Amino acid sequence: MSKSPVQGSAGQAEHADPAEKSDEKKKVLQEGVILLQRYDRKSSCFQLRLCNKKLANLSFTVDISKSVNLELRAPPGKGTSHSCNVEVPPGLEVELCQIAQVDPKKGYTLSATYSWVPKPADRKLVQQQTAEEVKRRHDIVANLKTCNIVPSKFDSAAKIEEACSKRGISQFVDAEFFPDDTALFNQPQSQDNPCVVWKRPSEFCDKGEIRVFSDSITPCDIHQGALGDCWYLAALAALAEQPQLIRELFSSDKHSSLGVYEVSCFKNGQLTKVIVDDLIPCSPSTGKPCYAHVNVEGEGQTVNELWVALLEKAWAKLHGSYEQIEGGIPCFGFMSSAVFSKPSDA
């Protein structure tokens, strides 16, 4: 895994065009740094937004001083009529500025310079802040191992829930895919690895009921995040055209208070049941999932759905780490998820 695509590197880009009012444009400035430009007819101005798919804050600057008959409207305290600087948290899409004509009766040309600098989280500080919780998880795993409750010893998540209930265990942590850098990277000891924290849905979901999926499952639910596994997510998006196929990937559609789930995958032509916990990689800056998750841009029922993050985690576990699932061909991802689906009665 290249640390530049994940964590980000400084960069600069230039852009010049007549900025047609009908245009809605998307420009990839760097892998994971995506500029969105659209014309808002209500306010009669162009809107610039930045989608940051890195695992680091980006200090992003827009400069339109070379533009003709255009002025920049920055958020309060963020800039001047010709430039602005905005901090964009990892995994989020943020409005940078608006650009409007100075004289509506005259023509205009947009000539902009964009520059950005990543600001990764302080690894030592994050480790200090999470040390107590990490120790607690290790204690949970030690207890589970003593009771011989590890996924490879059980053929279903339901049996793990039953075993934990008998022993008064209230939370499950997967001892065979422990939530730390070994589950994320091929070289977990490298100091170049971006900083990630692990959280349960109760810690990162909005208020309301936590669900595996809502009544409506659509391809638009899927938000990629910072990991380069679009090939796999493209396959899931195709599968989501038939929501029942997504539901059939899970042994249960109920949220597990214990935090254990069972997912079906195909690997090397073999149907494989993968059991995972619900600890999800999150950004230390936002506390939200930094890899694949249900799209939270549209506020509402989909905010607390887990199916995307859990499927990605199961696929990562099956391959040894999240890094191992970067780069691939969508048809292989489709076969890994769809082959086992029940045949039609027709």
DSSP class per residue in 327-338: S--HHHHHHHHH
Same domain, 214 and 281: yes
> 59 or 341, which is more confident?
59
pLDDT bin (cut points 50, 70, 90) of residue 328 is low
pLDDT over threshold 50, residue 68 = yes
Listed ranges 101-110, 170-179, 217-226, 236-245; the one with the highest mean pLDDT: 170-179
Inside any domain, residue 29? yes
Inside any domain, residue 35? yes
pLDDT tens-digit series, residues 189-234 = 998 888 899 999 999 887 788 999 987 899 999 988 888 898 999 9
Inside any domain, residue 307? yes
pLDDT bin (cut points 50, 70, 90) of residue 164 is very high
Inside any domain, residue 291? yes
Same domain, 56 and 179: no
pLDDT tens-digit series, residues 253-283 = 999 999 999 999 887 778 899 999 999 999 8
160 in Cβ contact with 152 (< 8 Å): no
Same domain, 15 and 115: yes
> 266 or 67, which is more confident?
67
Residue closest to 52 by CA, chosen among 98, 101, 109, 119: 119
Give the domain-ending residue among 96, 119, 142.
Answer: 119
Structural domain total, the chain = 2
Same domain, 94 and 212: no
The model's pTM is: 0.71
Same domain, 36 and 166: no
258 in Cβ contact with 252 (< 8 Å): no
pLDDT of residue 283: 86
The boundaries of the domain holding residue 253 are 123-338
pLDDT of residue 92: 79
Inside any domain, residue 37? yes
- Mean pLDDT over 242-256 rounds to 94
pLDDT of residue 297: 53
Active site residue 230: yes
Same domain, 194 and 82: no
Inside any domain, residue 344? no
86 in Cβ contact with 75 (< 8 Å): yes
Give the domain-ending residue among 85, 119, 153.
Answer: 119
For 38-76, b/e burial (b = at least 16 CB within 10 A) is ebeeeeebbbbbbbbbbbbbbebbbbbeebeebbbebee
pLDDT over threshold 70, residue 341 = no
Q: Which of 45, 230, 282, 331 is labelled catalytic?
A: 230
pLDDT over threshold 60, residue 331 = no
Same domain, 175 and 105: no
pLDDT over threshold 80, residue 336 = no
Inside any domain, residue 68? yes
pLDDT bin (cut points 50, 70, 90) of residue 21 is low
Give the domain-ending residue among 119, 139, 166.
Answer: 119
What is the domain-level CATH number for residue 30? Answer: 2.60.40
pLDDT over threshold 50, residue 338 = no
